[in-house]
Structure 1
Amino acid sequence: MSLYPLKFRPILKERLWGGSKLKEILEKPVQNDTTGESWELSGVKGDVSVVANGELKGKSLQDLIDDYPETLMGKRIFERFGNEFPILIKFIDAKKDLSIQLHPNDALARARHDSFGKTEMWYVMDADTDANLIIGFNKDVTKEEYSQSLKDDTLLNLLNYEPVKEGDTFFINTGKIHAIGAGVLLAEIQQTSDITYRVFDFKRKDKNGNLRELHTELALDAIDYSKKNDFKVNYPKETNTPNSMVDCPYFKTRFMHLTQELIQDVSQRDSFTIYMCVNGIAQIENDFAAETVTKGETILVPASSTKIRIKTNDAQLLEVTV
C-alpha cells in the first residue's frame, strides 16, 4: 500500500489537574472539565493510537508498524527501535499545578521498568497571566539537602520557576525535576514512555479521597541535583522556512510559520515526519494524498514519502523527526 498522511483519534486522559482548554482552544471532543491530556500519537501499550482517516481508518499504529515497518518508520528507525514507535505526542492542559516530578534515563528505565527513558520538550501554546513552569533547582543541592527538604516540607524553596508565554520552548532532560504550572496549555514531544517519578503533590487527594502515590526512593538515584540553565530553547522564527528547535538523540524538532506553500525534498530523510499544528490551518501532501490539519491536530507522514508539500496562507507547525 502507498501510505498517505495519517491522522489519529485523540486519546483523552482525565487528570485531577486538567481543565477545559483542550475543548475550548483545541476543540477536542472532551466530555468533562478535568481532561488534562490529549495523546495525539502513541505506541504506549494499552494506549495505542488508531487511524482516523482514509483507507486504513480503524487500524492501530501498531498494526501499521507490523504491516509496513520500513515504509512507515524508515529503515534506519526500524533497525534502531524495532516495532516500538519511539515518539509520544501530546497536548497538555494544566488548570492546576502538576505534581513535582522527573523521569529516569534510558538505563534506569530499562533496568527498572523495561521501558525507554523520557526525554521531552514543551512548546507553550497558551498561558494565563503570571503562569509559570518549574524546571530544575535554583541552586546546586546535595541528595541529603533534597531529602531533608522533603521531610521539612520545604522542597518548593529549592525549585526554579520560569514565567512563560506563547511560543516559549523548553527541553527537559531525564533527571531534571519539573512541573507544568497552572494556566499553561502546551504541546509535548517525548520519548515513548509513561514512566514518571512523582516526588511532591501539594498533599492533594484523588477523586476517591486518597493521596496520590509518591516515588521518593525511586527518584533519589534518578535526579540531577545540579543547577543547569540548559532548558530554555532559543530558536529562530524566520517565516516560510524550517527553524531548528531541538536536536537530540531521540527527536529533532523544527518550527515553521508558513504564509505560503512550502515543498520539502525528504527522499533522504529515512524517518517518518510528524506535524503538530499549533496555529492556523494547512494542507499536507505527500506523493500519494493530501490531508488538512487545523490548530490542535497532528499528522504523521510516512517515511516512504519523497516530498512533502505544505499549502497554507497562515499556519504554525512543529515538525518532528527522529
Structure 2
Amino acid sequence: MLYPLKFHPVYKSILWGGRNIEKKFNRNIPDGKIAESWELCCRNDGMSIVSNGDLKDLTFEAMLEKYKEQLVGTDVYGAYKNFLPLFIKIIDANDRLSVQVHPDDKYAKSHGEGNGKTEMWYIIDAKPGAKLVYGLKTGVTKSDFIHSLSGGNLGELLNEIPVSPGDVFYIPSGTIHAILDGILIAEIQQNSNTTYRVFDWNRVDKNGKPRELHIDKAIEVINFDNPPVLNRNRNYVDKGGYNERVLSENDYFTVKELNISDEFTGETDGRKFTVYMFIEGNGHIYYEKGCEPVSLGETVMLPASMGKYSIKGHAKILEIYVNTK
C-alpha cells in the first residue's frame, strides 16, 4: 500500500533569490541566493526524490513508471500517462523578476515547446509595501504595448498590485506578470517552464550582457482583450474542525486553503492524487496503515490509491489536485 509521500526539495540558486525559505520554514538550505524550492517536480531539470518510508530515494519518475494509476489516479494517468502535469514551487524574490508571459497549450505545442503554462500564486509572506505586476492597466491595447516597448516606457502600462500574506493571484496563460522584490510565494502551475520575457528592468549579467528577451512571441500570446480578474475573496466556509476557501479552480488544477483547528477528513478515491503544503503550523496525517507527522513548510503527496485519511493538528495548508478535462 502506498502512503503519504514526502520529497527532498530541489533548490535553485538565482541572482534574485535570498534566504527567506530558510528563515520562514526553518530549513537547512544550500549556501547562496536560493530563489526557488521545487516541492513537487518531475522534469529533466529537476526531479523529486522520496525522502520518507519504504520508497525512500526513489525518483518520482521511477515511482510513476512502477505504480501508474495507483500513484496518480485513473483520471490523471488516463489523461497524461507517465507525465506529471503539476509543478509546485516556493519562490523567494529578493529582487524583481522579469516581466513575462506564458503561452497556452495550443501555441506552445505548435512551436515545439511542450505544453503551455497557467499558474497560481499564493502569498506566503511579504515585506511592507510589497507589490507585483498583474496584467496591464485597463484599456491598454496591443498597439499601446508595442509603442511603449519601442519607447522604453513599458513600466507605465503595467498594473502593479500591493500584496499581503494570504492574497491569491490566478495567472492564466497570456497574462503579463512579474513578481517584485520582498515576496515569498507558493506557485502552483502546469508542468512547464516555457517563458517569454518582455522586459528585464535593463539589467545585465556579470559580462555586461542583457538577458534574452522574446518580444515577438510575447506579443503573439498576450491576451489584450481579457485582463485577469483579481480575487480578493477572504470568505471561509466553516466545516467543523476546519474552515476552507477555494483559491483557484480551473481546467488544470484546484487549490484550496484549509485552516485546521482540530481535524480534517478526506479520501483519495483512486481517480487523482492530492498534495498538501503546510504553510503554517504542523500536524499528523492518519491513514489505514499508520501515521505521518508533517511539519511547517513540508509538502506531502497522498497517492490516489491510499483511501481514507485524516489530518489532525493546528495548521494552515494548501490542498492541491489536478483537474482533467
TM-score (norm 2): 0.94
Change (3 A) 1:288 1:37: same
Gaps in structure 2 of 5+ consecutive residues: none
Partner of 1:210: 209
What displacement does 1:247 show?
Answer: 1.0
Alpha-carbon distance in structure 2 between the residues aligned to 1:227 and 1:73: 33
Change in Cα spacing, 1:225 to 1:307, as seen in structure 2 (3 Å) is same
> Is the contact between residue 126 and residue 184 of structure 2 (CA under 8 Å) also seen in structure 1?
yes
Match of 1:311 in 2: 312
1:169-204 Cα deviation digits (max 9, x unpaired)? 110010000001110001110000011111100111
User: Is the counterpart of residue 294 in structure 1 residue 307 in structure 2?
Assistant: no
AA matched with 2:315: A
Distance in 1, Cα, partners of 2:264 & 2:66:
31
Q: How do residues 272-291 of structure 1 correspond to structure 2 at under 5 angstroms? A: 272-291=273-292
> Does structure 2 conserve the Cα–Cα contact (< 8 Å) formed by 1:5 and 1:285?
no
Distance in 2, matches of 1:221 and 1:12, equals: 32
Q: Is the 8 A contact 1:172 1:231 kept in 2?
A: no
User: What amino acid is the match of 2:97?
Assistant: L
> Does 2:10 align with 1:8?
no
Aligned residue identity for 1:301: L
Is 2:134–2:176's contact at 8 Å kept on the other side of the alignment? yes
> Mapping of 1:21-60 within 5 angstroms?
21-60=20-59
Give the SS at the match of 2:222: coil
Superposition pairs of residues 152-167 of structure 1, within 5 angstroms = 152-167=151-166
Calculate the aligned-residue CA RMSD, in Å: 1.5
2:251 is matched with 249
Task: Determine if contact 2:274/2:321 at 8 Å carries over to the other structure.
Answer: yes
Offset of residue 263 of structure 1:
1.5
Secondary structure, counterpart of 1:221 in structure 2: helix
Q: 1:230 to 1:280 in 2, by over 3 A?
A: same
C-alpha distance in structure 2 between counterparts of 1:189 and 1:233, whole Å? 18
5+ residue gaps, structure 1? none
Within 2, Cα distance between the matches of 1:101 and 1:84?
Answer: 25
Q: CA deviation at 1:148?
A: 1.6
- What is the Cα deviation at residue 235 of structure 1? 4.7
Aligned with 1:30: secondary structure?
Answer: coil
Q: Which amino acid aligns with 2:89?
A: K
Q: How does 1:253-272 map to 2 (within 5 A)?
A: 253-267=255-269, 270-272=271-273
SS in 1 for 2:280: strand
TM-score (norm 1): 0.95
Overall identity of the aligned pairs, in %: 39
Is 1:66–2:65 an aligned residue pair?
yes
Q: CA deviation at 1:75?
A: 0.5
* Structure 2 residue 173 is matched with structure 1 residue 174: yes
- For 1:249, the aligned partner's letter is D
| Number of residue pairs the alignment of both structures matches | 319
